[in-house]
Structure 1
Amino acid sequence: MNLTVGDILALPGLEALRLRAGQRHCHRPVRWYYVAENEGIADWVMGGELVFVTGINHTRDEANLLRLLQEGHQNGIAGMVILTGEAFIHAIPDSVVAQADALGIPLIEQPYMLKMVIVTQLVGTALVQRDSLLRSQREILTQLLTGDYPSIELTRQRASHLQLTLNRPHRVITLRLSGIPALFDNAPPDRAEAQLQAARQALRQALEERLATLPASLPLVTLGELFILFWPEVDAAFLDGKAWLGEMRQSLSPSLQPLSLFCGLSCTVTQAHHYRRGLGEARRALEVAESMRPDKGICDFSALGVLQLLTAIPDQELLNRFMKETLGPLFATNRKHPALLIDTLEAILQENGNVIKAAERLGIHRNTLNQRLQRIERQSDHRVNDPQWRLNVSVALLIWRMSHAQQQEFL
């Protein structure tokens, strides 16, 4: 995994560094380090930096240090290191320590006697080494996900050498930000791009922070617009992971707007050469989450039932044609509510043919429901209680919901 604040504190040669606040957040991944030479840092950090504050070029009084923490929090820094000694910043004020704790920012004190050149060299070297390892690990995982590897035995050998733990059950989880076309349609390109990259960085940081808390976790992988996690399925770890995904999606929602986050989960993957299947399942579950369950935002492929079969059919036109042939006669383009009869039929199926409960579900009188059922049978040329037609309708309704077809014309 990425080098964390805690990893940096444990580097040989940096024993003089002292953690003053934010101990619970030392698992934050460090993307790089930044030495603050300006009065503020908001324009100079992108998220994930370990910020060093020296006080050499600017007066670093209590107010300025508090401001730096606030700007760092808003921009997602990994942590802050404040150099203390006789020359510039004599001591870290208690208010700064308290604010770092309140904001969840690891705050580290570095004595001036520990030379900055030594610290940055050790940190920079460790970051480069870890980045090189991560690139190789992600290369192996990408090969397994795409099926593009020379041989499974060689891939396993490389994975073992690169400290990748593949011999335990995992779920493949795909995450994607939705609404990107609308973002660029409604904002100037430069502002839309900035919003997109800020959202992606916020998501990446949240995912990597969580992965850093898992023992022997596999690194985050990106394929195009997809973020891909490998979540261990041992004991209650996966149930905790599903709960965390929902909580993360909710907590990130304000910072991601106008984009939305959707997640798809595969069935359990127990062998390295099955990761490709896991990715396919997770992607199909992601499509269902986005099209059929936007309020929840998360879909588990193992819970899809017959949708597992429908999402595996590559010929989308075949599915659409079946849906149109089955439901098309009930769709009225010239009416205020063109899908009225389809919604009525769906209510009948959901209530197992119980007319009273279906009428209650729709909020209409039973006589009104009976009139609609007569129209359905007349226009479809099928009896509602015909078991074969009910099966066809059930499948067609799933395709309709899955493909956003309710937003399109049938014919």
Structure 2
Amino acid sequence: MTTSPFTVEQLLQLPVFRQAKVLAGSGGLTNEIYYVDAMEIPDLTGWLRPNELIVTTGYSVRHEPFLLCRLLDEMHRVGGAAVAIKTKRFLQDVPADALRKSDAYRIPLIDIPAEIPSIDLTHSVMEVLVNRQAAVLREVQEVNQQFTNLVLNRRTTELVVLIGQLLHCEAAVLDQQGNVESSTSRFSEWEIAEKRSVQVGSRVLGYLAISRRLEEQDRFAHMCLEQAVTILAIEFTIRQSLQLQREREQESFLVDLLSGTSGEEELLRYRAKQLGIPHGARQYVMVIRPCREEERQGETMDDLLHDLLKDIQAGEKTTRRGVLVGGEIAVLCTTAHRDVARQREEAVDYLRALTQSGKRSADRKRLVCGVGGVRERLEEITESYREAQKALRIGSLVRPRERIVHFHDVLVEDLLQDATGHPSLAVLTQTLVEPLAAYDREYGTELLPTLESFLRTGGQTKRVGEELYIHRNSVLYRLERIRDILGVDLNDAETRLRLDLAMRAWKMAARA
């Protein structure tokens, strides 16, 4: 590759400069030349560029030779390359101060024959610079083609190796979090000297890191690095597109699976494996949504659910996958447990982990969850989904204080819901519940809550007192009033069964 610098020393080897003589500043013969310009005005302050060769007849400083010192000061400030001056044309002698500054600044002062036209001098230099720039551009174009071919063939690792070879250093591609995705063999995160953002629009998708800092004059390396960053942006865009397509396919499959319209078991398991959807010997569905009070917040809760879904999808992909359906998240889960208690414990731990981490953890704690039963076949998972929805719906009526409800917790209520309107159920609530409700409304008592707690705790009056924050004697008094009003024996098992069924049915009807 023709990437070696064009220096002052190489300038003097050009035919048009062979009769030139270095008056001072020989320490700067290795200065690289990027530009060439002719100066016939006394002051170039603000116009000079780094690595620039100035060609002059000396006409503008013929009456004030000290201005040559000012030119050298300015060239030193901006990093100029050299000054070529026709000393025998107008100047005759170069001031001693200018020679000293030339040596001090390492900016060569070159005496060129007066008879050589300035246009020949500048044209020769321009020709070299243009030819070299064209060669660099051709090489960069070839490099860009290699980069593009590697990206289109999804060979990112080879791309990184090529970058390292071109820049003579170790290189790596990092993701958005700064984790190494692919790298050269000896790359170390502790040796990163430069890191360039890989952006698509205003969004940073990753980084390209290298182990050495590029010199400003190493234009080829800078151009290669810029090309690499541009090509990596294409690579990240391709990845993003493929990931988005895969997520949409997963979402579509989950919706079909939950709705029960997705096909036979063997085909379902094949598709689940291809799409990376969790599937195993046993699976179930969790449904997560805002509690009823939070649903009124609309867009705020929608944002919360979207954030929560991102965390679910970013978690362990072999055990859980979620989809947003109608204002709630349905999560397909795999489990090793058969019994309900272990499954419930697993679901509780997972919901706790979700709500205690991530964005807006305080809002997440106001989410509620329904859990369906375990199924061994994917084609039956829609039943677990419906059970999870029922657990949420019924749980909000009969267990409003509980954040997570398993379908097995509300089996009786589900049965009673199907019997809504049955004459026998109506007789039970009219004779065993409504008289207590009427009494509570008239006298401001709490007989119904006392009876509910008594039935739920299996008749343990001490626990009833603890739940209601009243003395045990007050519990006994209330139970005596209930016996008097209903005319029943609360110690009779048959009576307790009827009371329990009536209370559950009445609560669902009252809160629906």
TM-score relative to the length of structure 1: 0.62
Aligned to 2:494: 388
> Which stretch shows the higher mean deviation, 378-387 or 266-275?
378-387
Aligned to 1:55: none
Task: Kindly indicate whether residue 348 of structure 2 is the aligned counterpart of residue 249 of structure 1.
Answer: no
1:198-213 to 2 correspondences below 5 Å:
198-210=303-315, 213=316
What does the per-residue CA deviation read over 1:306-343, in whole Å, with 9 as the maximum and x for residues that have no partner? x22422555474388477423111013634745x1112
Number of residue pairs aligned between Structure 1 and Structure 2: 314
d(CA) in 1 for partners of 2:179, 2:401: 31
- Tell me the amino acid that sits aligned with residue 310 of structure 1: E
Q: Bigger relative contact order, structure 1 or 2, given CA contacts below 8 A and separation 6+?
A: 1
Choose which of 197, 202, 207 in structure 1 pairs with 2:302.
Answer: 197
Q: Is the 8 A contact 1:183 1:258 kept in 2?
A: no
**Cα offset for 1:133?**
2.8
d(CA) in 1 for partners of 2:357, 2:443: 38
Alpha-carbon spacing, 1:118–1:377, altered in 2? closer, same or farther (3 Å): same
Task: Kindly indicate whether residue 249 of structure 2 is the aligned counterpart of residue 146 of structure 1.
Answer: no
Task: Kindly indicate whether residue 450 of structure 2 is the aligned counterpart of residue 344 of structure 1.
Answer: yes
d(CA) in 1 for partners of 2:337, 2:272: 24
Choose which of 246, 250, 253 in structure 2 pairs with 1:133.
Answer: 246
1:99-110 to 2 correspondences below 5 Å:
none
Task: Kindly indicate whether residue 441 of structure 2 is the aligned counterpart of residue 334 of structure 1.
Answer: yes
Task: Kindly indicate whether residue 366 of structure 2 is the aligned counterpart of residue 263 of structure 1.
Answer: no
Alpha-carbon spacing, 1:232–1:356, altered in 2? closer, same or farther (3 Å): closer
- Tell me the amino acid that sits aligned with residue 198 of structure 1: D
Q: Is the 8 A contact 1:172 1:269 kept in 2?
A: no
Task: Kindly indicate whether residue 204 of structure 2 is the aligned counterpart of residue 51 of structure 1.
Answer: yes
**Cα offset for 1:235?**
7.3
Choose which of 287, 297, 301 in structure 2 pairs with 1:183.
Answer: 297
Unaligned runs of 5+ in 2: 1-150, 161-170, 182-197, 217-223
- Tell me the amino acid that sits aligned with residue 119 of structure 1: L
Choose which of 273, 288, 294 in structure 1 pairs with 2:379.
Answer: 273
Alpha-carbon spacing, 1:128–1:176, altered in 2? closer, same or farther (3 Å): same
Q: Is the 8 A contact 2:391 2:406 kept in 1?
A: yes
**Cα offset for 1:384?**
1.9
Q: Is the 8 A contact 1:220 1:229 kept in 2?
A: yes
What does the per-residue CA deviation read over 1:190-243, in whole Å, with 9 as the maximum and x for residues that have no partner? xxx2x2332122211221122xx343x463222212211122213799655541
What does the per-residue CA deviation read over 1:115-168, in whole Å, with 9 as the maximum and x for residues that have no partner? 343222222222222332332333233222112245555545544554545343
**Cα offset for 1:388?**
1.8
Alpha-carbon spacing, 1:380–1:12, altered in 2? closer, same or farther (3 Å): farther
Q: Is the 8 A contact 1:346 1:397 kept in 2?
A: yes
d(CA) in 2 for partners of 1:81, 1:321: 69
Aligned to 1:375: 481
Aligned to 1:225: 327
d(CA) in 2 for partners of 1:258, 1:141: 24
Q: Is the 8 A contact 1:173 1:230 kept in 2?
A: yes
Aligned to 2:404: 298
1:113-128 to 2 correspondences below 5 Å:
113=226, 115-128=228-241
CA RMSD of aligned residues (A): 4.2
Alpha-carbon spacing, 1:335–1:158, altered in 2? closer, same or farther (3 Å): same
Q: Is the 8 A contact 2:268 2:379 kept in 1?
A: no
**Cα offset for 1:366?**
5.1
Alpha-carbon spacing, 1:17–1:312, altered in 2? closer, same or farther (3 Å): farther
Alpha-carbon spacing, 1:351–1:260, altered in 2? closer, same or farther (3 Å): closer
Q: Is the 8 A contact 2:178 2:207 kept in 1?
A: no
Compare CA radii of gyration and give the structure with the larger one: 2
Aligned to 2:413: 310
TM-score relative to the length of structure 2: 0.51
- Tell me the amino acid that sits aligned with residue 388 of structure 1: E
**Cα offset for 1:279?**
0.5
**Cα offset for 1:360?**
5.6
SS in 2 for 1:384: coil
1:347-366 to 2 correspondences below 5 Å:
347-355=453-461, 358-359=464-465, 362-365=468-471
Q: Share of identical aligned residues, percent? A: 20
d(CA) in 1 for partners of 2:257, 2:392: 20
**Cα offset for 1:278?**
0.8
**Cα offset for 1:350?**
4.3
d(CA) in 2 for partners of 1:124, 1:399: 56
**Cα offset for 1:261?**
0.8
